[in-house]
Structure 1
Amino acid sequence: MGIGATIHTFDVTLADVDRGVYDDLSFKVAQHPSETLAFLTTRVLAYLLEFEEGIAFGDSLSGGDEPAVLVRDLTGALQAWIEAGAPEADRIHRGSMAAERCAVYTHRDPDKVAGRWAGKRIHKAEQVRLVSFDDGFVDAVADAIARRTTMTFSVTEGVVYAEVNGTALSSSIHERRAG
């Protein structure tokens, strides 16, 4: 029998001043045995920075066709396709065609991630956002995460301020376009 997923529980006070989003959240995230804590952290950061009604974690880790995070409207129509890590260009192309907006949040070097997409077909590449953080930020958040995590997460003027289980961290949000 294979190793099962590790379940992480998050209790988050979210204050995204830049978008006017304020909420107290409680959610669970499954960490697949092959998934690094940095990748899980990137999925959680994407979820928090994109938070809106209809957001959910996708089934991308078990080989599904869903992205890491997605947003559906009340009719069930896909509104946002949000990937984490360093997805292939064809996956971004498919996501950009399937949803109104598409973004990639990465814990890797954004120049290398974007470089892998160079010369490849990505639908509306000029509208696909590639989001990254200051060096070491994702790893520092990952180091502070436990099976049960309490977090305050604020965004002001393009800077993330996070307190994760008592550890205070911050990072600028870096954004560029895929094309």
Structure 2
Amino acid sequence: MAIKATIYKAQLQLADMDRHVYADPQTTIARHPSETDERMMIRVLALAMGWPADTSEGTLELAKDMWDTDEPALWHKNFTGDIRHWVDVGQPDDKRLMKACGRSDKVSVWAFQSSTNVWWNNIAGKLVRADKLTVWQVPTEQSQELAKLAQRSMVLQVTVQDGTVWVGDGDRSVEITPVKLVGAD
């Protein structure tokens, strides 16, 4: 019998002063049995950082990348089904990223492993035509601290100012300074 997903709930209180986005998104996370707390929390961070200022064409949602290889970790589909924003977490290969750039208006990657620099150096040259792509690196120590905030039911305050992100749960706070490896936004 297969192990089932573990359900987590996250309520975010987002104050992104850099983009002037203020929202209270809530999400239910079906955590795949092989997914770590660290990866799950990077998905939550990516949700907050990619939350659209204008939600009239839908919002960013968690997808089923761990179950379906044709889906990203998160995506923003408008009401006609067009993919506005494709978000991957980890270290996807160049073919996947080029395909995503062809399918969506915007593609973001949130990498967090200590091997991110090696991965990026190996594929960066293959992505010169990917003008829709933005790649962020979360320093490993910071992503590991973020993982410690994981709980089955979470209320997280996410504040963004001058490129720095603070994520707190009322008792603890983690400072995250994502590094942009490539991209315009």
TM-score, normalised relative to structure 1:
0.91
Q: CA deviation at 1:132?
A: 1.6
Letter in 1 for 2:180: E
Q: Quick check: 1:13 aligned with 2:13?
A: yes
Kindly indicate whether the alpha-carbon contact (under 8 Å) linking 2:109 and 2:134 is maintained by their aligned counterparts in 1.
yes
Alignment of 1:144-159 (within 5 A): 144-159=149-164
Alignment of 1:20-169 (within 5 A): 20-52=20-52, 53=55, 54=58, 55-109=60-114, 110-120=116-126, 122=127, 124-164=129-169, 166-169=171-174
RMSD: 1.7
Which consecutive residues of structure 1, in runs of 5 or more, have no partner in the other structure?
none
Kindly indicate whether the alpha-carbon contact (under 8 Å) linking 1:102 and 1:129 is maintained by their aligned counterparts in 2.
yes
Report the 3-state secondary structure (helix = DSSP H, G, I; strand = E; otherwise coil) of the residue aligned with 1:65: coil
Q: CA deviation at 1:27?
A: 1.2
Once the two structures are aligned, what percentage of the paired residues are identical?
25
Tell me the distance in 1 between the aligned counterparts of 2:103 and 2:169. Answer: 34
Kindly indicate whether the alpha-carbon contact (under 8 Å) linking 2:112 and 2:139 is maintained by their aligned counterparts in 1.
no
Moved more, 73-82 or 99-108: 73-82
Tell me the distance in 1 between the aligned counterparts of 2:66 and 2:87. Answer: 13
Report the 3-state secondary structure (helix = DSSP H, G, I; strand = E; otherwise coil) of the residue aligned with 2:19: coil
Letter in 1 for 2:120: A
Q: In structure 2, what is the equivalent of residue 175 of structure 1?
A: 180
Which consecutive residues of structure 2, in runs of 5 or more, have no partner in the other structure?
none
Tell me the distance in 1 between the aligned counterparts of 2:125 and 2:11. Answer: 41
Q: CA deviation at 1:29?
A: 0.7
Tell me the distance in 2 between the aligned counterparts of 1:123 and 1:81. Answer: 18
Tell me the distance in 1 between the aligned counterparts of 2:29 and 2:96. Answer: 22
Kindly indicate whether the alpha-carbon contact (under 8 Å) linking 2:105 and 2:132 is maintained by their aligned counterparts in 1.
no
Q: CA deviation at 1:44?
A: 1.1
Letter in 2 for 1:175: K
Moved more, 128-137 or 45-54: 128-137
Q: CA deviation at 1:4?
A: 0.6
Tell me the distance in 2 between the aligned counterparts of 1:25 and 1:80. Answer: 17
